[in-house]
């Protein structure tokens, strides 16, 4: 079995595409992170939930177990 000669331009193109893809993925996650931080209702809901457990308010009922659902 003879070793195939790999062409340098194929390596360069593949490497360039991999770098572009890496930047696109990194940019997507960065944009998503920044947009999530701007959403204030989520922060208010989290503060209310953590404040409710700290103040001793009643907790919501526990979800029924799978045994109770199958009956």
The tens digit of pLDDT for each residue in 3-36 reads 666 788 999 999 999 999 999 999 999 999 888 8
Long-range contacts of residues 44-53, Cβ cutoff 8 Å, at least 24 apart: none
The pLDDT assigned to 24 comes to 98
For the chain, which residues make up each domain, given as ranges? Answer: 27-51
**Tokens found for residue 10:** 């194929």
Q: What is the DSSP letter of 71?
A: -
d(CA 8, CA 15): 11
Q: How high is the pLDDT of residue 38?
A: 81
Residue 11: φ, ψ to 5°: -65, -45
Tally of CB atoms within 10 A around 58: 6
Residue 60 has pLDDT above 60, yes or no: no
């Amino acid at each position: 079995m003879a070793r195939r000669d790999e062409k340098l331009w194929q390596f360069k193109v593949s490497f360039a595409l991999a770098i572009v893809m890496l930047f696109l993925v990194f940019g997507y996650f960065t944009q998503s992170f920044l947009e999530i931080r701007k959403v204030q209702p989520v922060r208010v809901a989290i503060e209310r939930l953590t404040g409710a457990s700290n103040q001793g308010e009643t907790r919501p009922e526990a979800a029924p177990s799978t045994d109770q659902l199958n009956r």
